[in-house]
Structure 1
Amino acid sequence: MWFKNLIIYRFSKPFELSADELEEKLNEKRFRSCGSQDMSSYGWVPPLGRHGYMLTHSANRFIMVCARKEEKILPASVINDVLNERIETIEQEQDRQVFSKEKKTLKDDVIMELLPKAFSKSQNTFAYIDAEAGWMVVDASSFKKAEDLTSCLRECLGSLPIINPALKNAPSAIMTQWLQQNPVTPAPFSLGFDCELREPSDDGGQISIKKQELITEEILAHLDAGMQVSKLALNWDDAQTFVLGDDMIIRKLKFTEVIEEKLDEINAETAAEQFDADFSVMTLSLRQLITDLVDALGGEAEE
């Protein structure tokens, strides 16, 4: 349940559904495993996993949801082997050539025949809604994965008025300034030891720096030559470490001993109580992190 990546969305209109109201709407797309002829399936599962049935989990006015994607594993090499064998048989037995249109039909037939025998894999994606602060946060490292979840949620709700945060400044410009000025990052942030530099052009080069001090003459020389910071490792308030991208995606998020100490103070007796405690501590901490990060980047642009 602990988020490892953050894609942050801003509600452009207040989210006014209660957890119970959201639960009712999510039931329309409760997850069902792939049928024998399905390549994939997508739907909502309980955030508590086997410890719960409800499709929403609410605490401190935060609402968590979880989507599951199941896909059949059908390698292209397997499909092509069966398809080529079938084409060869037709050409030999009927003494004719199989053209592209017929090959496509044969390929579709092969896929339908192989699907019931294929193994499947599944993956869960968690997200939570912070209606009070106006954020929706998805645990994903790519917009494609996040959009699968938000699209499914939009289908259930009829509309989902969310946008990527509109900032006054480009994150890459601010992160570049942080490495060029002294002092660097504003409190409560401090620099980590990883970053990525890129040239502004689409086909420009890039440099990846790992486990090194970032305020060096070499890095400053690259920045003075026009390169910009595209990824930067940061620490927040000694509670979390992460890598911030110029796309505003937070990756490699880790919670430190500070968070663990808060959890140690909670005496949870059941798995559900522990989940509730984890969820409360995590979301309250992330709300402050997001607030501080947006401020550090110069704030949100006015409408």
Structure 2
Amino acid sequence: MSAATTSEPRRRLFGTREQVGWYFYDWANSAFSTTVVSVFLGPYLTAVTKAAADASGFVYPLGIPIRADAFFPYMVSLSVLLQVFVLPVMGAVVDYTHLKKRLMGIFAYIGAFSAMGLFFLDGTNYLLGGTLFVIANLSFGASIVCYNAFLPEIATPNERDRVSSYGWAMGYLGGGILLALNLVFFSMREQFGISSGDAVRISLASAGVWWALFTLLPLSRLQNRQPQRILPPGEHYLTVGFKQLGRTLRNLPRYPQTMLFLVAYLLYNDGIQTVIALSAQFGSEELGMTADELPPLFL
């Protein structure tokens, strides 16, 4: 069989070189979602916060009283709230400039190094953990905006469902593989003479290392292109995204089916994301599950 004959099925199956590079950013960043957000950080940060709490069970970041077991959920909410203000600006920047590859890399590495910094979360230093998580989660969301903006450029309309699905699949695979490796490491920690807390901190940092290393592949394969849209005269990157969002919301009543879909998506997606982010803490705090029982359940 000729080389031309064998290369064509491979191209159809996995896509172009640039598309394969795009898939790998999902592979890279999903380690943060699984290992950090879903499994290890919630229970561990809560334990650190409780160690810093007063006799009534409260901590006081910036003088604000917060129950120790509510600190991590508040950090999740804060990071999402900040995304509401940051992501529309990011959307405008990637639409009207050729900077999305550079910005994706910048935010990816800010997030990755913040995740690595969680290795130093111990004792009563709950503010360090909360701050690093907010930075990492905000950077994660900003990098995803840039990542998604590549899809119309690297895939034709007929290819987009397939390419997007491959990206999702690579994300689940990459996040699952690292979580499985961390599960094996955590279960064998005593054989290495490592405490439970140290094993958690190593697992948290490993997500940042994974994120940083595998981001190199999309950065090497994705290409910068000139923007397809020009910033309207008198507009600014800091405001044009919010104006576009406002126009879209004002026009939504003219499309009731679209509005129904978006409302439904908002409700079920936010519900699912909340369950994913807080279920490990719920299992630990409310169900009394141990650190050895939680990771296999999520995997």
- When normalised by structure 2's length, the TM-score is 0.26
Asked which structure has the greater CA Rg, the reply is 1
More strand by share: 1
- When normalised by structure 1's length, the TM-score is 0.26
Higher relative contact order (CA 8 A, sep 6+): 2
More helix by share: 2
